[in-house]
């Protein structure tokens, strides 16, 4: 699942996605760049009752999930090995959460969700794979936005997922939190027996070794960490 998010990177330093959480009373705003849309969608659904009805629309990218979800949408668009499915359907929150859990590792779910209680997730559906995951808009983090009501316990569950490497440092309560990731790709690990592979196939099959530099600003207090990866 992680590998597909890194295949476009060569050796170098690249902007990673950001996640911003703002808390005002029990009103919580979640704003994420491309790369956090699955966490935002899943987290919102995890707080809903399994039987609560949700309206869903958007785009699913990736062959296995697009084919699996064809019953929820229109015509499947395929170009080479790129698969795209536009969807518009209603679903119980529990069923939709299972879709995220089954599909988010292999596919990209660009879904907007509106729950019957008024909570919402709004996600953009147009991607520019040549641009930074942060986009070119200086108006703030806006690729995926969730609006919910949540207490301290729910927010702690969010931090368990988004900041497992910072849990012992973060306060129990906060008003604002910003996560910034930066990818440092130090080496491309080329597979053996590459004869006959195209440049594109070689890029897709090669692994990346490097580290993620993570910075968290919580109510003005800043923490740093680095996590090594091979994907």
Domain ranges of the chain: 2-230
Does residue 101 sit in helix, strand or coil?
helix
Count Cβ atoms within 10 A of the Cβ of residue 80 and give its class: 0-12 exposed, 13-18 middle, 19 or more buried: exposed
pLDDT in the model for residue 231: 86
Contact by Cβ (8 Å): 48, 115: yes
**130-146: per-residue pLDDT in tens?**
566 776 555 689 999 99
Q: For residue 216, is pLDDT > 60?
A: yes
**167-194: per-residue pLDDT in tens?**
999 998 999 999 999 999 998 888 887 7
CB burial of 125-160 (b: ≥16 within 10 Å; e: otherwise) equals: eeeeeeeebbbeeeeebebbbbbbebeeeebeebbe
pLDDT in the model for residue 17: 95
Which sign does the torsion angle of CA 172, 162, 52, 34 carry?
positive
pLDDT in the model for residue 195: 76
Distance, in Å, from the CA atom of 130 to the CA atom of 30, rounded to the nearest integer, reads 25
Q: For residue 1, is pLDDT > 60?
A: no
E strands present in the chain: 12-24, 27-32, 53-61, 73-79, 82-92, 108-115, 120-123, 144-149, 176-189, 207-218, 221-230
- Contacts of the segment 199-205: beta carbons below 8 A, 24+ positions apart: 203/7, 204/7
């Amino acid at each position: 699942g992680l590998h597909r998010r890194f295949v476009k990177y060569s050796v170098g330093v690249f902007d990673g996605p950001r996640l911003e959480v703002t808390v005002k009373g029990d009103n919580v705003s979640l704003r994420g760049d491309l790369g956090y849309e699955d966490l935002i969608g899943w987290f919102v659904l995890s707080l809903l009752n399994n039987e609560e009805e949700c309206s869903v629309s958007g785009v699913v990218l990736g062959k296995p999930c697009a084919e699996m979800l064809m019953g929820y949408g229109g015509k499947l668009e395929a170009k080479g090995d790129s698969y795209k499915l536009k969807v518009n359907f209603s679903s119980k929150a529990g069923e939709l959460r299972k879709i995220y859990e089954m599909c988010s590792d292999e596919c990209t779910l660009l879904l907007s969700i509106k729950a019957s209680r008024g909570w919402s997730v709004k996600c953009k559906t147009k991607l520019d794979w040549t641009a930074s995951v942060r986009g070119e808009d200086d108006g703030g983090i806006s690729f995926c936005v969730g609006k919910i009501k949540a207490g301290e316990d729910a927010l702690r569950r969010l931090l368990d997922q988004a900041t497992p490497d910072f849990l012992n440092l973060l306060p129990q309560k906060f008003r604002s939190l910003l996560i910034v990731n930066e990818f440092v790709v130090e080496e491309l690990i080329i597979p053996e027996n590459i004869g006959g592979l195209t440049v594109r196939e070689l890029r897709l099959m090669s692994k990346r070794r490097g580290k993620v530099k993570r910075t968290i600003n919580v109510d003005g207090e800043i923490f740093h960490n680095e996590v090594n990866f091979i994907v």
